[in-house]
Structure 1
Amino acid sequence: MEEEQPKGLEIEIQPLKPISLLVTRVAGVMYRDDPWFATDGLYHHCPLELRREPENDYDPFAVMVMRGDEMIGYIPRERNIVIANLMDAGRELRCRVCAMDRDDYSIDLWIEVLMDRIEPKDLIDGKMKLTVI
């Protein structure tokens, strides 16, 4: 007679609050072709994207701050190594606007970089399912 395999126990875990990794000013905003256009319509907690640029001649840890296909600027060189290493290791990071000051002469943009405690790929319908055997 065949021995019955033990059945797993399913546990649902709600996603935890994301970890705030960094709050920083975005470097190079004023060097864009049209920084006012690139930052137009941004608002508090507006989601932005991060994209690695490892082939950057000036900084091998360069991380671009993007709005769709439009580059807004960079995470400053003195603050980007941990973020770049996490991205290179496959962690999905997100960022959002946390402050912005615009006038006729300059734009000062601040972002917060966040990391989910549970990876989105591990979630099913917003919940994580584990099978304990």
Structure 2
Amino acid sequence: MDPVSGIIGPSGCQIGTEIDMAIARRWSTDLGLTLDQMLTVIAETMARKPDGPPNSFKFFDKPMARFAGELRRLAAEPLNPTDTPKRTKGHSHDRNGTFDQRHDEYLRRLAAGEIDRGPDPSDPWAR
């Protein structure tokens, strides 16, 4: 891709138009998604799209809305430590059965910004 013109591939398809940037801003402002969350949804969506890049960012509107809805749903569900978690195949190493539940709660809180990840350890100026 040419970073100056935004042209990609032999067809000369331009990506990142002003309209696309407005769509991406809406994902942030209306849905409350972070850049990392948006990039994750885009990567997962593109992994399932076999026929090349989409024509516009609007292609990702529904996956972004689903992801944001799932985050809201998870944030609204309190974690009840007395609930017995469902046992699934492949998790027999989890003797008390709560690791998956605690891990899911940690990921939810991290995505919601409730947990501060601290400075980037690869940043030499963050000490």
Pick the structure with more helix per residue: 2
Identify the TM-score tier after normalising by the shorter chain. under 0.3
Q: Which has the higher contact order (CA 8 A, sep 6+)?
A: 1
Pick the structure with more strand per residue: 1
Question: TM-score under structure 2 normalisation?
Answer: 0.27
Question: TM-score under structure 1 normalisation?
Answer: 0.26
